[in-house]
Structure 1
Amino acid sequence: MQNKLKIINDPVHGFIKIPHEILFDVIEHPYFQRLRRISQTGLLNLIFPGATHTRFHHAIGAMHLMFTALETLKQKGIVITEEEEKSAMLAILMHDIGHGPFSHALENMLMDDWHHEKLSLLLMNRLNDEFCGQLTTAIEMFQGKYHRKFFNQLISSQLDVDRLDYLKRDSFFTGVSEGNVNAQRIISMMNVCNDELVIDAKGVYSIENFLTSRMFMYWQVYYHKTSALAEFILVKILERAKMLVSEGAILPATDNLQYFLNREKNAATDEDVERFTQMDDNEIIHAMKLWQKSEDFVLSYWCQCVIQRKFPKTIISSQPFSDQFIQDKIKTVNEKLGISNANELVHQIERSLLSYSKDKQPIYLLQKSGEIVRLDQSEDQLLSGLMTNKTTRYILTFPRI
């Protein structure tokens, strides 16, 4: 018999145990193995060269942190059955299984309005059929339907093991130290009260450090102006390609990508799902390399920007750019390049961040008295109250001329 209780050596967390055979079976499945070919951070490696890690890395890391969190809760007297432990680890392991090429950037371009969580759930149900119902409880936890609420909060909330892993992992691979949260310290402060996930009050500053680290990572890394631009261009490339194909143009691409370029907006079919689970970053990169030579100037321009890393210029502002300013840029680009459709190349990109929501799944602190206090209302908090306002930045992009 094959030994499925493996140990994985992870550069971020060290040795990761796979304590249940079903976890190994899911990891070995083609749906999950595809995540090896899906970038965790899109085109971020064009800005931070080390950011070449994948969704596969992240899912394994999040599974490890879930195991650590459950062990911590058990030590604090919270009763967690082996079935619950196994299911919670399965749920977080599969939480990103529906991600498309380049992660978030293209998820709506291929399957129209099918968010990756919707696709993840669909694929989980298919896997559940394959594994004879062994994932049923995991799916309930993922959907927030399991009767013990804290399991879903560990999977998806403002302080979940998903965020703890991606912040620490993305910080490690980008080299941006501001995101290097102390995941072990935060997990050691986790507790459960009335089936809700809470944090022991003495961990208040670790939580505030986590929230500020996340905020800095967003503005310094994920929403970095060139990172935001690269993601925007990816969407524009697929948008343009779909439009050209709908007008009768023939664009070279793999069979699967051709299928999605020609796909009409409608409910997902079995073929859609089957083809989607074969798509990865490589097909999009291959297409962009070929489309650099497209007869369509706009498609060719955008693809060259990415493949040759010749990005357009950007200006960043805390206020929206005026229509007049944008129109002047369009006019200048038209004149300098001798074209008439510069409006396709000049765009305003908007990025917003709410660092902490006091209303949606707030973080609660458990006082020594047994009282539960919302983080932003705690007398000990220093920064949380300042992070409840949304911040927005505007980026204007236009060709270098």
Structure 2
Amino acid sequence: MAYRDEQLSEEKVFKDPVHRYVHVRDRVVWDLIATPEFQRLRRIKQLGTTNLTFHGAEHSRFNHSLGVYEIVRRIISNFQDRPHWNKEERLLCLCAALLHDLGHGPFSHSFEKVFKLDHEYFTQQIIVGDTNINKVLERVNPGFSRDVADVIAKTYKDKLVVSLISSQIDADRMDYLQRDAYFTGVSYGHFDMERILRVMRPIEDQVVIKSTGMHAVEDYIMSRYQMYWQVYFHPVTRSAEVILSKILLRAKVLFEAEDFTFKLEPKHFLSFFNEDVKLADYLKLDDSIVFYYFQQWQDENDEILRDLCARFMNRHLFKYVEYTPNQPIDKWMELSRLFVEAGIDPEYYLVLDSSSDLPYDFYRPGEEGERLPINLLMPDGEVKELSRQSDIVEAISGKRRTDHKLYFPKDRIEALTDDGIKQRMKEILYN
């Protein structure tokens, strides 16, 4: 029997708190899960610093990746024997679902921002590079790893396959909304996924939803909206991310300084500091490695690095105030000057952070980052875009919400002995 068709002697299952069970019968999938590159995802938190706000959010990218695989497995099981579905794409879909987050690093988005990285690029490099993952995929047939990478990059020729992994209603979102809601303990991310899976239909190059399932889709979109603003953009979580980013930035600045020597050489970060990141270096980095350095850097000779690491490790976070971008620039300049006078470096201790989300958008040809819409299959066979049928979705469609906050160390301000500077800082911050 060809490797791509090989089945395990009996089905393996992972007990899962969200989907009850994750079912594996394909030898290829089982072998992929066993690779070091996939097992690494056990050591990468799904939600980065969110556990400092919601203490249950300790789940990993490994959990989530299995969940996305399981949802896609159920979808294509429902697609069997339906028109427009190509059975030959089954294993490709399963592998792409399983591996779609393979390139995430520790504290993914903060890490990427500081070092100008892209986890999707590294996902593709792990899949097509000299890795155990690649060896498994190439055993299926030569070039199969490239097909998997193309699905994840959204460049694969069959857009129906791509839409299962990446669209405005895909397996990725359906898993992380429910999983993140479960582990954070909030109620916002729950929706009737089983109903949505039952009414999904493959049509040519897209997945559509039977119109009878419209209300389940509305619930899904509102769940996503609430999760972003109540969990993902929670200001306490963002405060931790701000400090995390500043730690990495400070470490990079110190590395580049000719007059500073680390007590503990940051060898795991060297290629990142030099902006020449090799795949092998990237794969060696996970949450535990980063935490080790942060723990050690609490005893470094640099006061700023010491303080920021102690804040992060001990959850001594920055406070925040709402900030309006159209506020007079002279107040911002004065606040920065007062921080300098008080001996508090505004580069690390006065940080403007913005959160922005577009909960749903219809198709806008030619726009950068355009999104394919969610389409409904009407009883007469016609396909109609969701916001044209749903008043709820129309109300939020195409409307970007942005939130700005200014983060600062309130304790440092309160400890100032110069009452004049302290009072003026407070006036600017709180008025």
Query: 2:374, 2:386 within 8 Å by CA — same for their partners in 1?
Result: yes
Residues 261-283 of structure 1: per-residue CA shift (max 9 Å, x gap) = 5x4234x5xxx111211110011
Instruction: Tell me the residue number matched to 1:275.
Output: 281
Deviation at 1:113, TM superposition (A): 3.0
Structure 2 counterpart of 1:341, from 332, 341, 345 = 345
Structure 1 counterpart of 2:162, from 152, 159, 166 = 152
In the alignment, residue 229 of structure 1 is paired with which amino acid?
S
SS of residue paired to 2:355: strand
Deviation at 1:142, TM superposition (A): 2.4
In the alignment, residue 230 of structure 1 is paired with which amino acid?
A
User: CA separation of 1:25/1:318 partners in 2, compared to 1, >3 Å: closer, same or farther?
Assistant: farther
User: CA separation of 1:265/1:139 partners in 2, compared to 1, >3 Å: closer, same or farther?
Assistant: closer
Instruction: Tell me the residue number matched to 2:122.
Output: 119
Query: 2:356, 2:403 within 8 Å by CA — same for their partners in 1?
Result: yes
Name whichever of 147-156 and 243-252 sits farther off.
243-252
User: CA separation of 1:274/1:227 partners in 2, compared to 1, >3 Å: closer, same or farther?
Assistant: same
Partners of 1:192 and 1:144 lie apart in 2 by 17
User: CA separation of 1:2/1:391 partners in 2, compared to 1, >3 Å: closer, same or farther?
Assistant: closer
Deviation at 1:103, TM superposition (A): 2.5
User: CA separation of 1:313/1:79 partners in 2, compared to 1, >3 Å: closer, same or farther?
Assistant: closer
Structure 2 counterpart of 1:238, from 248, 271, 274 = 248
Query: 1:333, 1:399 within 8 Å by CA — same for their partners in 2?
Result: no
In the alignment, residue 180 of structure 2 is paired with which amino acid?
D
SS of residue paired to 2:151: helix
Matches within 5 A, 1:244-259: 244-248=254-258, 249-253=260-264, 256-259=267-270
Alignment size in residue pairs: 390
Structure 1 counterpart of 2:49, from 31, 43, 48 = 43
Residues 183-227 of structure 1: per-residue CA shift (max 9 Å, x gap) = 222111211222311111111121111111111101100101111
User: CA separation of 1:297/1:9 partners in 2, compared to 1, >3 Å: closer, same or farther?
Assistant: same
Are residue 9 (structure 1) and residue 36 (structure 2) matched? Answer: no
User: CA separation of 1:208/1:384 partners in 2, compared to 1, >3 Å: closer, same or farther?
Assistant: farther
User: CA separation of 1:318/1:221 partners in 2, compared to 1, >3 Å: closer, same or farther?
Assistant: farther
Matches within 5 A, 1:1-400: 5-74=11-80, 76-81=82-87, 83-109=88-114, 112-126=115-129, 127-129=133-135, 131-134=137-140, 135-136=144-145, 137-248=147-258, 249-253=260-264, 256-260=267-271, 263-266=273-276, 268=277, 272-317=278-323, 321-334=327-340, 338-339=342-343, 341-359=345-363, 360-378=371-389, 380-400=390-410
User: CA separation of 1:3/1:276 partners in 2, compared to 1, >3 Å: closer, same or farther?
Assistant: farther
The TM-score with structure 1 as length reference comes to: 0.90
In the alignment, residue 107 of structure 2 is paired with which amino acid?
F
SS of residue paired to 2:57: coil
Query: 1:208, 1:384 within 8 Å by CA — same for their partners in 2?
Result: no
Deviation at 1:55, TM superposition (A): 0.2
Name whichever of 181-190 and 152-161 sits farther off.
181-190
SS of residue paired to 2:197: helix
Unaligned runs of at least 5 residues, structure 1: none
The TM-score with structure 2 as length reference comes to: 0.84
Partners of 2:227 and 2:60 lie apart in 1 by 18
Q: CA RMSD in A?
A: 2.3
Partners of 2:265 and 2:34 lie apart in 1 by 25
Name whichever of 296-305 and 248-257 sits farther off.
248-257
Name whichever of 146-155 and 291-300 sits farther off.
291-300
Partners of 2:85 and 2:402 lie apart in 1 by 43
Query: 2:359, 2:396 within 8 Å by CA — same for their partners in 1?
Result: no
SS of residue paired to 1:6: strand
Unaligned runs of at least 5 residues, structure 2: 1-6, 364-370, 415-431
SS of residue paired to 2:218: helix
Query: 1:65, 1:161 within 8 Å by CA — same for their partners in 2?
Result: yes
Q: Which has the larger radius of gyration?
A: 2
Query: 2:322, 2:406 within 8 Å by CA — same for their partners in 1?
Result: yes
User: CA separation of 1:61/1:148 partners in 2, compared to 1, >3 Å: closer, same or farther?
Assistant: same
SS of residue paired to 2:15: strand
Instruction: Tell me the residue number matched to 2:366.
Output: none
Query: 1:205, 1:381 within 8 Å by CA — same for their partners in 2?
Result: no
Partners of 1:232 and 1:53 lie apart in 2 by 21
Query: 1:208, 1:381 within 8 Å by CA — same for their partners in 2?
Result: no
Deviation at 1:252, TM superposition (A): 4.7
Query: 1:320, 1:394 within 8 Å by CA — same for their partners in 2?
Result: no
Query: 2:189, 2:223 within 8 Å by CA — same for their partners in 1?
Result: yes
Partners of 2:328 and 2:251 lie apart in 1 by 29
Query: 1:321, 1:348 within 8 Å by CA — same for their partners in 2?
Result: no
